[in-house]
Amino acid sequence: MKFACDKESLLNAVQIVQRAVSLKNPLPILGGIKFEAEDERVFLSATDLEMGIRCSFPAQVTQTGSSILPAKVISELIRRLPDLPIYIESDPLTGSTMVKYGQSEANINGYPVEEFPDFPMPESEIKFILPGDVLREMVRQVVYAAATDENRPVFTGVLLETGNGEMNMVATDTHRLAWRKINLEKYQDLNINLIIPGKTLNELIKICGSAEQNIEITVTDNQVLFNNGEVCLISRLIGGQFPNYRQVIPGEYISRIRVSTKELAEATERAALLTRDGSPIIRLKISDNTLVVSVNTEAGRVREEIAVYQEGEPLQFAFNARYLGDALKTIGSEDVNIEFTGPLSPGILRPVADIDYLSLLLPVRLRDE
């Protein structure tokens, strides 16, 4: 393998695929990045066996071939190089790769190419295309509610289901839930139901999603592939049955308020400063078109009043401040509607004038209730 390229293109590609590198895996080669030089392009790929990323960039290829280089070493080296043309040449006999820049050079010992896992592109008749910015925003509004506890794998994923010309995306950690729906007018007959790891979608947000780029999504029985023409992200799917989220979303409410998203988010942040780290619980009280946000702990007290538009009964309840703050960050509208069916029933947050998104929060039962 022998090629020349500019620093910016190489560094950008390395940083993209490095997101899939496994640093804790017992297989050392999974800590590497595979370089493949072909026909005026260099392809980079990395995988942790659950998720893989592949991308490419243009280069002056004088000899085709491949090499596996330690991700951390090559990334840190390139980042520190001067802004000069870079020449890379691998020796298949020794496994060493030379990186030349100006009058200087570095030699990196790599891994055996034959030991690197294959990176097969899944083939399937189930394919559909979404605008990158639409997919990114949809994921952003939902993925935060996925669990991080690996003991319950289904809850660490995000449900993606389609049918009747619609696509739903849902995540829940059993304490909160986020749901988003978009129309798929071009795919009326597309019917899929899969659970994508939250980790995969968090990486997807970072590497895909400009308005000018479409994302092609390919689905097989156990994998999903996202491809924007420059970067491919492939992931295993999570097995199991996602809970019936529709049955936990209340259909009616006894109390509803419309409040400034910014004001409530800021009041929540301030009140949370005086809560316990492991239990950031804040109280909220609705009455007379006023929302009172309060905290009373050993660290001190906070009480803030926010003017709201109120419908229905007065109500008192409590939320986890971090969960409420996370939900407010995804609302995307100046004001938010919050609906309640009772003090111990889920609270529903909806953007004003948007019926296709909601965030559900379970209230916290307080000792004096």
Count of structural domains within the chain: 3
pLDDT of 120 over the 90 cut:
no
Question: What average pLDDT does range 289-310 have in this prediction?
Answer: 94
DSSP 363: -
Boundary of a domain, candidates 107, 140, 165: 107
The pair of three-digit structure tokens given for residue 248, joined into one six-digit string = 């936990």
CB distance 254 to 341 below 8 Å: yes
What is the Cα–Cα distance from 15 to 199, expressed in whole angstroms?
17
| The amino acid at 235 | S
pLDDT in tens, 219-270: 999 999 999 988 999 999 999 999 999 999 988 899 999 999 999 999 999 9
100 with 21, same domain? yes
Average pLDDT, the chain: 93
185 with 142, same domain? yes
Give me the CATH number covering residue 291.
3.10.150.10
Other C-beta atoms closer than 10 Å to the C-beta of 299 total: 11
pLDDT for the residue 211: 60
pLDDT of 97 over the 90 cut:
yes
The percentage of residues in the chain with a pLDDT greater than 90, rounded to a whole number, is 82
What is the Cα–Cα distance from 334 to 262, expressed in whole angstroms?
7
**Residue 117 forms part of a structural domain:** no
**Structural domain span for residue 177:** 126-245
262 with 190, same domain? no
Confidence band for 14, pLDDT divided at 50, 70 and 90 = very high
**Residue 40 forms part of a structural domain:** yes
* Rg (the chain; Cα; Å): 25
Cα torsion angle, 326, 332, 335, 338, sign: negative
pLDDT for the residue 210: 61
pLDDT for the residue 369: 47
pLDDT in tens, 326-349: 999 999 999 999 999 888 899 999
CB distance 90 to 31 below 8 Å: no
Confidence band for 86, pLDDT divided at 50, 70 and 90 = very high
267 with 336, same domain? yes
88 with 8, same domain? yes
pLDDT in tens, 153-180: 999 999 999 999 999 999 999 999 999 9
pLDDT of 65 over the 60 cut:
yes
What is the Cα–Cα distance from 18 to 201, expressed in whole angstroms?
16
264 with 343, same domain? yes
219 with 173, same domain? yes
13 with 31, same domain? yes
The C-alpha torsion from 347 through 350 and 355 to 359, rounded to 10°, is: -60
**Residue 366 forms part of a structural domain:** no
Phi, psi for 334 (deg, rounded to 5): -65, -40
Q: What is the DSSP secondary-structure string of 214-263?
A: EEEEEE-SSEEEEE-SSEEEEEEPPPS----GGGGS-S--SEEEEEEHHH
pLDDT in tens, 190-218: 999 999 999 999 999 988 756 678 999 99
